Amino acid sequence: MGSNDQIPLSRRQIVGGVGTGLAVAATRSAQASEATPPAARPLVDPIGQYPKPPFAKQSQPWPGLAGRMEPKPDHGETSYRGSGRLAGRRALITGGDSGMGRAAAIAFAREGADVAINYLPDEEPDAAEVMALNRKEGRIALAIPGDLRDEAFCQDLIAQAVRGLGGLDIVVSNAGRQQAHASILDISTEQFDWTMKTNIYAPFWIIKAALPHLKPGSTIIASTSEQATDPTPDLYDYAQTKAATTNFVRSLGKQLAQKGIRVNGVAPGPIWTPLQVSGGASMEKLEKFGAQTPFGRPGQPVELAGIYVQLASAEGSYATGQVYGSAGGNGLP
């Protein structure tokens, strides 16, 4: 209890207090007439917000298209609203055609950033949708297709992004390869190498090439996974690449701190994306996808968009070497 609480208020103090109250009220109404407060948004129960299992059986050849999934994932196409948090920023997002990458690409553009996306040539239909949406925002939207398993392409990707955007401030290393195998005996050396090249080598090549262009205040964000700390038995190779990703976020966060470059990770739980319907999950897992979480449903890419924005923006300025989780109640980031 503060000392003033014990002293009875004099009449003068009360009158003064009331006077101050009126002054505050008058200031508030003057402000209200200048800026209308945003309309109240409905309180939404996260449990019923998005589709729940059981899901229809479906399968696509790798890497899959969001446009062919049933139900279609929500990347924030009609819902994400920006507020200038990334105005003037220039971002490159790998795997920006679908899933978390597309959600980040749409959100970044609506927050005022110019965005380049990388994806595989087979994903052109998904990429074209992102390009159209981001151009509507009046932002530069750059499409740079190519295979990240090639070091020379990774270097060229950065060069093209820097040229097309006039520089680079945000690198989102999000592309990933995931194929489920019941047994380690089912994983060929070629498959193992494909996963390692995509998930471990490509981020290494991309970050090395990007670093000379990143000024203090720039950020690197990696898509890791709850698999890094809580691996499932059918993702032997994939899960270890995510442990590596979480680990490099922590080492690079420290290494680049003195340069003023922040490095953070996002660790999703089960999210409804093409990666899962093109070999990432078994059909049995897919039909009940997300059922194992306390929310009883998978996440949608848009539900993670705000995390990527937060980590990319100056509002996240004290966060580096961190991994932010979003897993419907499961997972340890």
Footprint on this chain of ligand NAD (rule: CB under 6 A)? 63-64, 94-95, 97-101, 118-120, 123, 147-149, 174-178, 198, 223, 225, 268, 270-271, 273-276
Q: Which candidate, 107, 83, 94, places its Cα nearest to that of 304?
A: 107
Span interacting with Mg ion, options 76-84, 122-130, 140-148, 234-242, rule CB under 5 A: 122-130
CB of 144 to ligand NAD, least distance (A): 10
CB of 72 to ligand NAD, least distance (A): 12
Q: Does 97 bind Mg ion (CB under 5 A)?
A: yes
Of 238, 308, 318, 324, the active-site residue reads: 238
Span interacting with Mg ion, options 89-97, 210-218, 241-249, 300-308, rule CB under 5 A: 89-97
CB of 194 to ligand NAD, least distance (A): 8
C-alpha distance across the termini of the chain, in Å: 40
* Backbone phi, psi, residue 265, to 5°: -130, 155
Taking the CB of residue 186, how many other CB atoms lie within 10 A of it? 12
Q: Which is nearer to ligand NAD, 270 or 316 (CB)?
A: 270
Span interacting with Mg ion, options 92-100, 223-231, 263-271, 310-318, rule CB under 5 A: 92-100
CB of 282 to ligand NAD, least distance (A): 14
CB of 29 to ligand NAD, least distance (A): 47
Q: Which of 98, 195, 241, 300 binds Mg ion (CB under 5 A)?
A: 98
Is 236 one of the catalytic residues? Answer: no
Contact of residue 293 among ligand NAD, Mg ion, none (CB under 5-8 Å per partner type): none
Q: Which candidate, 301, 321, 282, 314, places its Cα nearest to that of 174?
A: 301
CB of 333 to ligand NAD, least distance (A): 11
Q: CA gyration radius for the chain?
A: 23
The CB-nearest residue to ligand NAD is: 99
Q: Which is nearer to ligand NAD, 49 or 330 (CB)?
A: 330
Report DSSP state, residue 323.
E
Q: Does 129 bind Mg ion (CB under 5 A)?
A: no
Q: Does 123 bind Mg ion (CB under 5 A)?
A: yes
Element (H, E) at 100: helix 99-110
Touching Mg ion, residues 237-296 (CB under 5 A): 274
Contact of residue 268 among ligand NAD, Mg ion, none (CB under 5-8 Å per partner type): ligand NAD
Strand residues in the chain grouped as ranges (E): 90-94, 114-119, 141-145, 170-173, 219-223, 262-268, 323-326
**What six digits make up the tokens of 70?**
């049933």
Q: At what angle do helices 202-210 and 151-165 cross, to 10 degrees?
A: 40
Q: Does 195 bind Mg ion (CB under 5 A)?
A: no
Nearest-angstrom CA–CA distance, 211 and 151: 15
Cβ-contact 120, 147 below 8 angstroms: yes
Buried-exposed string 120-140: b where 16+ CB fall within 10 A, e elsewhere? beebeebbebbbebbeebebb
Nearest-angstrom CA–CA distance, 68 and 32: 47
Residues annotated as catalytic are 238
Binding site for Mg ion (CB under 5 A): 97-98, 123, 274
